[in-house]
Amino acid sequence: MKQYGAEFFGTFWLVLGGCGSAVLAAAFPHVGIGLLGVSAAFGLTVLTMAFAIGHISGCHLNPAVSIGLWAGGRFPANQLLPYIVAQVFGGLVAGGVLYVIASGAAGFDVAQGFASNGYGEHSPGGYSLLAALVCEVVMTMFFLLVILGATDKRAPAGFAPIPIGLALTLIHLISIPVTNTSVNPARSTGVAVYVGDWATGQLWLFWVAPIIGALLGALIYRWIGEQKNA
């Protein structure tokens, strides 16, 4: 239960920190942090939590990561469902806290997106469904490659949170214009349910694409990272 609690609070922090930066600070008058700031915020949530709870739960914070680690032979199947439930619940509670905070400002309108992910007319840059699908698959695939490589027993010990956090920052720098960046079904679900309408209608993509990408990343790393017996 402590592992599941760690995943709950870790995912809460990711959604509150990452989506909170987008909703509350990205376009704040005169001192908005913009795309660069939001990208950094997502990376910092993973970096800080990896050091805080990595030794407790592994700090997955993401159903796609848990599935990818299972496919990569790093995580037991019997813990997949409890981890995913804890992550999604953490994201939903964080979305609720963010909603309460954001709605305290005059003029707040959840229909403006609330940091939800989308494609077509709901993509920040107007990117198509196909573009969004490819982007989310590829970004999650490389995220898993970085995670599996950085946590490999042959990699320098104790440094994994740094490349993983930086990888998530880079992913956001690339893909915020395309989908508002998911690569994490719990992050997408945590805010989409408060928007409803188009956000929940398009949510399927942000479960399917990250999971496909995670599985591909795991398969590729098992191929390139496999050690041959002497």
Average pLDDT over residues 18-37: 84
Answer yes or no: is pLDDT of 230 > 60.
Answer: no
Q: DSSP 3-state assignment of 203?
A: coil
pLDDT of residue 228: 61
CATH T-level topology, domain 2-224: Glycerol uptake facilitator protein (1.20.1080)
Rounded CA-CA distance 34/39 in Å is 9
40-92 pLDDT tens trace:
999 999 999 999 999 999 999 999 999 999 999 999 999 999 999 999 999 99
Q: Is 204 exposed, middle or buried (0-12, 13-18, 19+ CB in 10 A)?
A: exposed
Average pLDDT over residues 100-106: 91
Q: What pTM value is reported for the model?
A: 0.92
Answer yes or no: is pLDDT of 157 > 90.
Answer: no
Rounded CA-CA distance 6/74 in Å is 18
The fraction of the chain above a pLDDT of 70, given in percent, is 97
pLDDT of residue 27: 75
The CA-atom distances, in angstroms, between 156 and each of 50, 152, 183, 229 are 15, 9, 26, 22
Helix (H) or strand (E) segment spanning residue 102 = helix 80-102
CB 143 within 8 A of CB 217: yes
Give the model's confidence band at 204: pLDDT under 50 very low, under 70 low, under 90 confident, else very high: very high
Tokens encoding 149: 């490589």
Average pLDDT over residues 179-198: 95
Rounded CA-CA distance 30/119 in Å is 29
